[in-house]
Every structure is written in structure tokens, then in C-alpha cells.
């Protein structure tokens, strides 16, 4: 797509000011395109603002999502050298622990598949766990250490990417229609503040990706998957040194169950608080506080780190992960509507996968060679009635 040089008509309108939309703006800008970012709320008001900032390769099996994660890992490292320290990029590493021999055997097979794709992982025997995490519970069978796993402050990362993109950011403006010409091609969006014209529209609305797609007349079966996080009182530095989670977290990520699933995910923050996740359940956009979910989080965290038993939780928060049935995001042009692009459906991995997603979208907008095979992320891969991948 040729670059326009008309100040009030950008090359693309990006709908969504979360970290994925911000990354799309950043890489599109680097490619020489002009972009306008529009959001009905403030920056990072949706899933991004409710995230823990995970940049993980450890939880992804060999395949398209891991390829996307490995590319993003490299891009996040590059970004860490250009974005201000407020982004809080930290390559803290991940530790995936096994409670018994069977779990350790499964983790070993999982890591072997990842190693073939280029993931760096090291098996840690039971008697070596204390060297990495002194406060872990006794009796664990072992673990795998992933030094590439990292962390950012997600809302700040989104804000800094938008700032670096020098995008025209319009907040508090809800998109109410996708504008098309007589031939059905995109010509911009209608917002609560008026029309924004552009030859391309990028759907980076996260959990609301289905609704934006519907405005353009296409089906994209994004569903919200609710998750809770507990936050402890400030604790001594490095009480928890890595992102530590139990092996059953990987199964929870891969599950398509609508019911409540929980697993222990524990990590420290620069402020001294400890974040405790993770739960998953499909309950629509129900924002009701689930005491059962919080109870499970606390119990599982104490199972991993008994030292947390006497610690106070000072708050809890929740968000909605944008879930697609095959657990892969929708990225790239939608052939059903010329000029419509998607960058949503990353579930709980959007913060980590944002840079590679932005690079893929920018390449598609410029009709340039993609940085990796975009076929698995094809937005039109779902049946219009069943919502299953074709």
C-alpha cells in the first residue's frame, strides 16, 4: 500500500490503544506510514492494563505461536534499549516447576520440542531449586529454567510505544461503524466524534475484536476469558526472583474449557509486591468478584511458596483475555473486506506477542515480505457459524 502524504488522511486507522495497537502503530510508523490510533477509553484501559506484563516463551509449545513469541522476544530486547526505563523491562527468567515425577517427565518432553525451535531451557534437579528460588516449597520433583522469559510494565509499554510512534492518538472516541466504498473496500471509521478516513483499518481491539469485525460485516469469534490476579503487601526484595509457575499452568493456557481453571503463577515486582495468578474462565464480560477464584489463587501460591502463608493480599484485579478457539491470534489482512486488518485474539499472551504482531501488520500494510509465515494467523480461518478453524 503506498504511503500518503496528506496530513489529515493517514495511511491507516488503528482501533485500540492497548499494547498490540501501540506496537502496530510503532512498526507502521517505522515503515514510513502515517497512522491514527483511536480508542473509546484511555491508553491500555482494557486487557493490557489488567495484565502482568508477561513476555513468555516457556508456556508455548513448538509451532506458530512459539515462532511469534521468539521473534517478539528478540524485538522486546531491541525495544528495551530504546524505550525509557519506566517501561520496566526485566529479563528475570521463568521457572516452571513439577510437583512429581510424571509432571517432570511431561515438562522434559515439552522442553525438548521447544529446543528444536530454538528455545533456551535448562532442567533443574530438585536439589538445585533452592539456588534459584530459596523460598520454594520442599518436595518438588524439579523444574525447567527459561532465561529468555521477561517482564514489562504493560500500560507504560503501550504508552511509550505510542509516544515513539508519534501517532495521532485520539482517546475517548468510540468507533461506531467501519466505512466502506461501493465496492466494499474500507475507507475509514465513524466515531462518536466524527469520521476518520483512511484506506486501511486495523482491528486491535483485543477482547472486543468480534464486535469491531462485525461492524465491518465479517465474523471473528473472539470471546472474553476472565482472569484474576492477587497483589500482596510489599515484601523484602527478591523474595521471589523469577516468574515461577506450576506445570499445570501450561495445560490451563491450552485448555478450551469454559469452566474455572486455576494454577499457581507467582512473581515479584520492583515495588516489592508479589503478583499471584492465574485463573481462566469464560463468563462473558461478567465483572463480579469471584471469591472462589481468589481462594484458589491464594492456596496454590502458598503450596508453591509457604512463606506467603502469613502475607496479606492488599488488592485483587481482573481482566478479560481475548480468546480464539484455536488459541492463535488473528493477524493480517482480511480478504473478505479489502483494507481491513486484524491484530487481536492473543488471549493472555498479547503483551509478549505485541512486537511481532505489529511487525507482521506493518509488513502487510506495506505489502512487504512478512518476518515469518503469516498463514496460521489468517483472520478468515474460522467457519462463519461454528467458530472453528478451517
Single out the residue in 300, 323, 346 at which a domain terminates. Answer: 323
For the chain, what is the mean pLDDT? 92
Average pLDDT value for residue range 16-24: 98
Question: What is the total count of domains within the chain?
Answer: 2
Using the predicted structure, report yes or no on whether residue 386 has a pLDDT greater than 50: no
Average pLDDT value for residue range 230-240: 94
Using a 10 angstrom Cβ sphere, with 0-12 exposed, 13-18 middle and 19 or more buried, the burial of residue 285 is exposed
Q: Render pLDDT for 43-56 as a digit per residue (tens, 0 to 9).
A: 999 999 988 889 99
Q: What are phi and psi of 262, to 5 degrees?
A: -140, 150
pLDDT value at position 365? Answer: 98
DSSP string, 15-68: E--SHHHHHHHHHHHHTT--EEEEESSSTT-STGGGS--EE-STT--TTHHHHH
Specify the CATH number for the domain of residue 15.
3.50.50.60
CB 231 within 8 A of CB 275: yes
DSSP string, 250-261: HHHHH----S-E
Regarding whether 172 and 54 lie in a shared domain, the answer is yes
Specify the CATH number for the domain of residue 142.
3.30.9.10
Using the predicted structure, report yes or no on whether residue 277 has a pLDDT greater than 90: no
List for the chain the helix, strand, coil content (%; round to 5).
35, 25, 40
Regarding whether 101 and 168 lie in a shared domain, the answer is no
Query: What distances in angstroms separate CA 238 from CA 92, 300, 311, one per listed residue?
Result: 11, 20, 15
Q: Render pLDDT for 99-135 as a digit per residue (tens, 0 to 9).
A: 999 999 999 999 999 999 999 999 999 999 999 999 9
Average pLDDT value for residue range 13-30: 98
Pairing mode of beta strands 54-55, 150-151: antiparallel
Edge to edge, what strands does the sheet with 223-232 contain? 122-125, 142-146, 94-98, 243-246, 261-268, 274-280, 223-232, 313-323
Query: What distances in angstroms separate CA 202 from CA 25, 36, 187, 191, one per listed residue?
Result: 10, 10, 12, 15
Residues 382 and 367: their CA atoms lie apart, in Å, by 24
Residues 99 and 137: their CA atoms lie apart, in Å, by 10
pLDDT value at position 342? Answer: 98
pLDDT value at position 2? Answer: 37
Using the predicted structure, report yes or no on whether residue 6 has a pLDDT greater than 70: no
Name the residue range of residue 169's domain.
1-92+148-221+326-390
Regarding whether 262 and 285 lie in a shared domain, the answer is yes
Regarding whether 122 and 267 lie in a shared domain, the answer is yes
Would you place residue 254 in the very low, low, confident or very high pLDDT band (cuts 50, 70, 90)?
low
Would you place residue 278 in the very low, low, confident or very high pLDDT band (cuts 50, 70, 90)?
confident
Number of Cβ within a 10 Å radius of residue 214:
12
Number of Cβ within a 10 Å radius of residue 248:
18
Regarding whether 369 and 230 lie in a shared domain, the answer is no
Regarding whether 339 and 387 lie in a shared domain, the answer is yes
Query: 207 or 286: which carries more pLDDT confidence?
Result: 207
Query: What distances in angstroms separate CA 364 from CA 2, 63, 159, 218, one per listed residue?
Result: 12, 21, 24, 19
Using the predicted structure, report yes or no on whether residue 384 has a pLDDT greater than 80: no
pLDDT value at position 252? Answer: 58
pLDDT value at position 324? Answer: 95
Single out the residue in 323, 339, 371 at which a domain terminates. Answer: 323
Query: What distances in angstroms separate CA 56 from CA 53, 163, 269, 305, 353, one per listed residue?
Result: 9, 25, 16, 21, 9
Residues 292 and 280: their CA atoms lie apart, in Å, by 12
Q: Render pLDDT for 176-210 as a digit per residue (tens, 0 to 9).
A: 999 999 999 999 999 999 999 999 999 999 999 99
Q: Render pLDDT for 134-186 as a digit per residue (tens, 0 to 9).
A: 999 999 999 999 999 999 999 999 999 999 999 999 999 999 999 999 999 99
Single out the residue in 302, 323, 344 at which a domain terminates. Answer: 323
Amino acid at each position: 500500500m503506498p504511503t500518503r502524504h496528506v496530513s489529515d488522511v493517514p495511511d491507516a486507522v488503528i482501533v485500540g490503544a492497548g499494547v498490540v495497537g501501540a506496537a502496530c502503530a510503532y512498526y507502521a510508523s517505522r515503515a514510513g506510514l502515517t497512522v491514527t490510533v483511536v480508542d473509546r477509553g484511555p491508553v491500555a484501559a482494557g486487557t493490557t492494563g489488567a495484565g502482568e506484563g508477561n513476555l513468555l516463551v516457556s508456556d508455548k509449545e513448538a509451532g506458530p505461536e512459539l515462532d511469534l513469541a521468539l521473534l517478539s522476544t528478540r524485538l522486546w530486547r531491541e525495544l528495551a534499549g530504546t524505550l525509557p526505563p519506566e517501561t520496566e523491562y526485566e529479563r528475570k527468567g521463568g521457572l516452571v516447576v513439577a510437583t512429581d515425577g510424571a509432571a517432570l517427565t511431561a515438562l522434559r518432553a515439552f522442553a525438548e520440542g521447544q529446543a528444536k525451535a530454538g528455545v533456551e531451557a535448562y532442567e533443574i534437579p530438585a536439589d538445585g531449586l533452592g539456588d534459584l528460588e530459596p523460598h520454594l516449597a520442599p518436595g518438588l520433583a524439579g523444574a525447567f529454567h527459561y532465561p529468555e522469559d521477561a517482564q514489562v510494565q504493560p500500560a507504560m509499554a503501550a504508552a511509550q510505544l505510542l509516544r515513539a510512534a508519534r501517532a495521532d492518538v485520539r482517546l475517548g472516541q468510540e468507533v461506531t461503524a467501519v466505512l466502506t466504498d461501493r465496492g466494499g473496500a474500507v475507507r475509514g471509521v465513524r466515531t462518536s466524534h466524527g469520521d476518520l478516513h483512511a484506506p486501511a483499518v486495523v482491528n486491535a481491539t483485543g477482547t472486543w475484536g468480534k464486535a469491531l469485525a462485525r461492524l465491518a460485516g465479517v465474523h471473528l469469534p473472539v470471546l472474553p476469558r476472565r482472569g484474576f490476579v492477587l497483589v500482596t503487601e510489599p515484601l523484602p526484595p527478591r523474595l521471589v526472583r523469577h516468574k515461577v509457575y506450576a506445570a499445570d499452568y501450561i495445560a490451563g493456557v491450552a485448555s478450551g474449557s469454559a469452566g474455572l481453571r486455576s494454577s499457581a503463577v507467582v512473581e515479584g515486582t520492583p515495588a516489592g509486591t508479589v503478583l499471584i495468578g492465574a485463573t481462566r474462565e469464560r463468563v462473558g464480560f461478567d465483572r463480579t468478584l469471584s471469591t472462589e477464584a481468589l481462594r484458589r489463587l491464594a492456596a496454590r501460591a502458598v503450596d508453591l511458596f509457604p512463606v506467603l502463608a502469613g502475607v496479606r493480599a492488599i488488592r485483587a484485579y481482573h481482566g478479560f483475555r481475548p480468546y480464539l478457539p484455536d488459541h492463535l491470534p488473528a493477524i493480517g489482512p482480511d480478504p473478505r473486506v479489502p483494507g481491513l486488518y486484524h491484530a487481536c485474539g492473543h488471549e493472555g499472551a498479547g503483551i509478549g506477542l505485541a512486537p511481532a504482531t505489529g511487525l507482521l501488520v506493518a509488513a502487510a500494510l506495506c505489502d512487504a515480505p512478512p518476518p515469518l509465515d503469516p498463514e496460521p494467523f489468517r483472520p478468515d480461518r474460522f467457519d462463519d457459524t461454528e467458530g472453528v478453524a478451517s
